Every structure is written in C-alpha cells, then in structure tokens.
Amino acid sequence: MLHQLVGEVKTGNYTVARGNDCSSPQVPSNLANSTVVIIGHSAGGAIVQGYPGEYHDVAAVVQANYSNQGSGPIVQQQINNVVEPALAKGEDYVPFFANRQQCVQFDIYQPGAVSQVEKIACDPANFVLTPAGEFTGFPALEQENNQFIKTTGNIPVLLTYGDHDAAFPPDTTQADYQYWVTNCQGCDVTEWSEPNSGHLFMAHTSLPQWVQEVVGWLASHGIS
C-alpha cells in the first residue's frame, strides 16, 4: 500500500476530497512531486525500514522510535496483557492500551513531556483500535526488514531514537543502528537521538529539535 501511495504522489494520479473530510466528493489531484520522502514512527518505522531496499523509489527515509533488533519488556507486557486476549477472541481490531496509566508508561518520559499533549494522547477516549495483523505479521516483517536493509543502496536513511524510550530503549536502538552499519555496506545511514524524549516523541518538548534535525539532514542531502 505504501508503494502504491508513493507512486501516486509521484504521478499525481490520485484524488482529493473537495470538502473538509474524506467522505466529501472526490476530484482528481493536480499535484505531483517526483521527490518523495517517507517517515515512519513506531510500527510505521517497521514499515519504512525495509521499504527502500525493496522498492528503491524514494529520495530518503526517516525512521522514528523503532528498532528491528528487539524491544523493551513493556512491549511484550502490553501484548500479553491486552492484545493477546483480544486476538484469542478472534477480534480483527484490538486495543493496545486498556487505560491511561498504560499509555503514559509506554509512551511518555515525564521530565520532557508536554503535559497538555500527554493528556490528549493518553486520554482513553482517543484510543484507536489497532489492526490485528500489525501484531500477527510482525515476525515476518522483521525478517524481511533484515534482508531488505542489505539492499538499500544509496538511498539515505535517518534513524531517530528517543533517549528515554521505554518501548525501544537504548540497547535495542544501538543494536538497530549497528545492524545497519554492519549489513548495509556503503549505505548512507545516520543516527540521531531525541533528547529527553519517550516513545511518543510528538508529545515531548524536543519535538522542534527533531523537526530541525530532519529538515537539516534532508537539506544536507539536497532535499528541501
């Protein structure tokens, strides 16, 4: 699906909503751009990590708060306590958090958090159910990523990690970066650590620094 989306952005062969939401009447787009950068956070990071090595059709890749080389105990804790019981019932869409406390423990590094954003992000009323395949398909995706990393070629990759990410703590992120360095010979891969940030880096005061780092890194690679 991501490959299809990248192709549509490059060609402009897609439709846009005429009104304020996606249920509005659709009209053909008149906007295309041959330079496409993909960015993925958390499970989205797993999706973008192997993408350039498989499709080779993007200008750059930015990964945020994910490691293909393991995760923290809190990830398996949430899967065991919340996800697995829902999967056992045959549910197609499953919860990842049961309450605010679980969300905060998983996503937030309190010293660097923006309290107003944290309250919104971890409000149970705002929780969105997750497709079951995001969990059942992970083992195969991780194996695919490890192989496709090796064929990334000259597409630049920026790996960004939260320095206090409970889901993917420093030992796992360093293993992730080292895997890239060891297995992607000649690749252009850069590592950057988000200061005072937890897994949900968008809810922390260092977000502007992350944006500056990404923009500056893209500019250094001729992408503006």
Contacts of residue 124, defined as CB under 8 A and 6 or more positions apart, other chains included, come to 97, 99, 100, 103
Q: What is residue 22's predicted lDDT score, i.e. its pLDDT? A: 84
Dihedral sign for Cα atoms in the order 23, 28, 31, 34: positive
Considering the domain boundaries, does residue 9 fall inside one? no
CA gap 176, 169 in Å, rounded = 11
Identify the pLDDT of residue 19: 85
Domain count, the chain: 1
CA max distance for the chain: 50
pLDDT band for 21, please (50, 70, 90 cuts).
confident
Residue 12 lies in a domain: no
Whether residue 115 has pLDDT greater than 90? yes
Binned at pLDDT 50, 70 and 90, residue 63 comes out as very high
For the stretch 195-212, pLDDT in tens is: 999 999 999 999 999 999
- The CATH number of residue 89's host domain is 3.40.50.1820
Answer whether residue 213 is part of any domain.
yes
Residue 208 belongs to some domain of the structure: yes
Which pLDDT belongs to residue 183? 98
Kindly state whether residue 44 falls inside one of the protein's structural domains.
yes
* Residue 42 located in a structural domain: yes
Mean pLDDT of the chain: 96
> What is the percent of the chain with per-residue pLDDT over 70, rounded to a whole number?
100
Domain span at 160: 31-220
Q: Is residue 2, in this structure, part of any structural domain at all?
A: no
Has residue 18 been placed in a domain? no
